[in-house]
Amino acid sequence: MNMLKTTMLLAALTALFMALGYTLGGSSGAVLSLLVAAGMNLFTYWNADKIVLKMHNAREVDAQSEPSFHGLVANLARRANMPMPKVYLIDSPHPNAFATGRNPENAAVAATTGLMAMLSRDEVEGVMAHELAHVKNRDTLIMTMVATIAGALSMLANFGMFFRSERNGMATILAVLIAPFAAMIVQLAISRTREYGADRTGAEMSGKPLALASALAKISRGAAAIPNPVAERNPSAAQLYIVPTHVSEMFSTHPATENRIAELEALAEQMGAASGVAPRRSALDPLGRQ
């Protein structure tokens, strides 16, 4: 279902791009913008993992330096029948995690020391399963495609503002103002769909949806209280994390944490019913109530 939604939204974004090109009355500008945007995003696609990991001063760990954490990720990768990703730790009190890499064969997952200290082992397992789910679902590739089309559309809109004709001037102005905003809405919808998909896939991978729900609640509270210098210097980095920081909910690529927790609680009920075992809840529920 998530893939169907993503496909439909990608089609809508492509149609929006084509409609703007038609409104501007020419194909050459649209093709040029698409090629330039594709080139920019292709460079990012091949180098994003190196850029992101260096930005966070992440250090690679292995079975010798971090046997518990590395072993946890290795076990999840085996369970999901995935190639073993590179594993990184980030020395920061800010609790968060992310995945990067252009495909499952060239992937990396990272977590902060703050996250490791704040969460239980089951919760860390839930978080890393979510990040591996992004890799397994090839969300990096999908979001690169989305960014390519959205970027090309914005460039085409700028092109239209400079080269609009008198004959369709008003239509062009309306198009170049509305199209980028509409593209942003579609882009956010695709991103949020992929987050729900990673939550579900990760919960099924770990078999502990309530642990992931509890982790999301803790990370959300911790991320709001503990500064993240990397995200403050580079606001775009905030959207990498399992819970984004200092981003308006309206313009966030992630669904509201409360909605994600509700979906995971419903999944826990389904999984419990399927196995004939009621899901176990801790004394402190995922929303932080006693």
d(CA 171, CA 183): 18
Which string of b and e fits 260-287 if b means at least 16 CB within 10 Å? bbebbbebbeebeeeeeeebeeeeeebe
What is the DSSP code string of 177-189? HHHHHHHHHHHHH
Neighbours of 251 (CB within 10 A): 11
pLDDT value for 162: 63
List, for residues 31-84, the tens digit of each pLDDT value. Answer: 766 676 667 667 777 887 888 899 899 999 999 999 999 999 999 999 999 999
Question: Confidence class of residue 29 from pLDDT cuts 50, 70 and 90?
Answer: low
pLDDT at 274 over 80: no
Please state the rounded mean pLDDT for residues 94-102.
92
pLDDT at 21 over 70: no
pTM: 0.77
> Where do the structural domains in the chain lie, given as residue ranges?
2-275
DSSP state at residue 113: H
pLDDT value for 81: 95
pLDDT value for 265: 96
d(CA 20, CA 184): 15
Catalytic entry in 123, 125, 131, 265:
131
Q: Two tokens at 81?
A: 């029948």
Annotated active-site residue 131? The verdict is yes
pLDDT value for 231: 80
List, for residues 154-197, the tens digit of each pLDDT value. Answer: 766 766 666 555 545 655 666 667 766 776 677 677 778 889 99
pLDDT at 97 over 90: yes
For all residues of the chain together, what is the average pLDDT?
80
pLDDT at 250 over 60: no
* Lowest pLDDT segment from 145-149, 235-239, 267-271, 281-285: 281-285
pLDDT at 139 over 70: yes
